Amino acid sequence: MNRRSRARLAVAALAAVAALAAGGAAGLVRAGLARQVPFVGWLAGPARPGELPVGAPGGTGPRRLRIAAIGVDSPLEALHLDHTGALQAPVEYAEAGWFADGTVPGDAGPAVIAGHIDSRLGRAVFYELSRLRAGDAVEVQRGDAWLRFVVTATGRYAKTAFPTHAVYGPTPDAQLRLITCGGTFDRAEGSYVDNFVVYATLARTTSGQG
């Protein structure tokens, strides 16, 4: 190996070290959160380790979501994290999904339900989500019981400034987060630049069909 080749290798090595230093934190987050928190992707904003409580194993998952104020009545698909640590998108645009590796709706902590806002064919299940206001009811079926949550707040956030702790952080009571995309559609990236989040708290549980 001549002197010029050795110099080129040295420059390449320094560049690689610099890239690792600049992107190492993001890389560690992506690698370390595969079983804990949704990473930035089609839906959720940047995540940090340990900010989404892991649900109790063996709990009965939710079956259906109803939001009368915006005409939503949808079965719930179980969503997991893919190999990159990103939350999977629901397969059906007309149906919502819940983060099955996190808190189960009705248990203490923030349960996460996500859905598309639209598709190339038109409106999707959470197209009207931004119309929800404090006091609106959100019902989730778990087993034979219906859990009634009441909306307490809403917010729209840039994916680059997502309030991870507020959305995914532990809570002492049973809460719910409904999340979809929003804001301007970035055609270059093929996704919306914001997320819209609805915060809700469990109000009561009823048996049967509600």
pLDDT of residue 166: 87
Q: What is the pLDDT of residues 14-63, one digit of tens each?
A: 333 333 233 332 322 232 223 334 433 455 444 443 444 455 455 689 99
In terms of phi and psi (left: phi > 0; alpha: psi -120 to 50; beta: otherwise), the region of 173 is beta
Q: Are 129 and 177 in contact (CB under 8 A)?
A: no
Domains and CATH numbers, the chain: 33-207 (2.40.260.10)
| Per-residue model confidence (pLDDT) at position 187 | 83
More confident call, 5 vs 74? 74
64-88 per-position pLDDT tens digit: 999 999 999 999 999 988 777 777 8
| Per-residue model confidence (pLDDT) at position 54 | 54
Question: In the predicted model, what is the mean pLDDT of residues 120-144?
Answer: 95
pLDDT at 93: 93
Q: Rounded to an integer, what distance in angstroms lies between the CA atom of residue 22 and that of residue 29? A: 13
Query: Tell me, what's the pLDDT at 116?
Result: 93
Nearest to 55 by CA among 107, 124, 120, 98: 107
The tens digit of pLDDT for each residue in 150-179 reads 999 999 999 888 888 888 889 999 999 999
Establish how many alpha carbons lie within 13 A of residue 87's alpha carbon, considering only the half-sphere containing its beta carbon. Answer: 31
Percent of the chain with pLDDT over 70: 70
Q: What is the pLDDT of residue 208?
A: 64
